[in-house]
Amino acid sequence: MKLNLTDVFCELISGVAIMLTVVPILDLLRVLRVSDAWQALLGSPNLTTLTVVLGVSYMVGVIFDGIAMSSDTWLARWLKVPDVPHEASTDFWRRVQPHVLSYRSETWAFYFCYRNLFLLLPVAAVAWSVWLLLHYSFCLAAFAFAALLGMAFLLSRGMREIYKLYNTITIGAAAAPDATPNPPRVPPPPSAMG
C-alpha cells in the first residue's frame, strides 16, 4: 500500500480542527483551561511534543473521518449534486487509466477534508463563541461566531464544486474510448521516408 501524503495531510488537518474544537468545551466543563492547553503545547516545544501532537491529531482525524462518512448521503442530497449513473460507474471501473484514478482519489481526499471541517465548524463556532463571551466580550464572540459560520458556508460551496468535479471525472473517464496506455510506435513505411 502506497502512502498518500494528501490523505495524511487531510487527516492531520481534521485532527487539529477537532482538538481546537474540544479545547474550549473542556474549558467550559472546567476540565482543562485553554491557557493551560496552550502553555503545554507552546511552553516547551520540542520534537517529542510535535510528534505526540501530530500522532494524536492523525489518529483523531482518522476516527472522525470514519464517523463523518455516515453523513455523506445526507450531504450529497443537501449539496444537490446528482449521483453518477450506475452504468457510468461500471464503465469507469472497467476503463479507468491509472493517472485518472490517482487524480480522482486526490479530489476525493480534499472533499473528505472539507467535509470534516464543515461538520466541525458549527460546533467550533458555538464552543468558541460561548468561551469568548464568558472570558472577553460579546463583540468578539459575535465576530468569532460569524467568521466560523462564514467559513462553514464557504466550505459547503467548495464541497459542492469538488463533488461535481469528482462526478465529472467518473462520467468523463467512463465515456472515454478504450485506449491502450502506451500504443506501440510503428515506423512509417519506407516509401514515405523520401
What confidence tens digit (pLDDT) does each residue in 46-65 have? Answer: 888 888 889 999 999 999 99
Contact yes or no for 76/131 (Cβ under 8 A): no
pLDDT of amino acid 181: 52
Report the percent of the chain where pLDDT is more than 90: 47
pLDDT of residue 186: 46
Residue 177: burial class (beta carbons within 10 Å; 0-12, 13-18, 19+): exposed
**Residue 68 — φ and ψ, nearest 5°?**
-70, -20
pLDDT confidence of residue 44: 75
Indicate if the pLDDT at residue 34 is higher than 70.
yes
More confident site: 150 or 168: 150
Averaged confidence pLDDT in the chain: 85
Cell of 184: 506501440
Angle CA 121–150–42, to nearest 5:
50
pTM above 0.85, yes or no: no
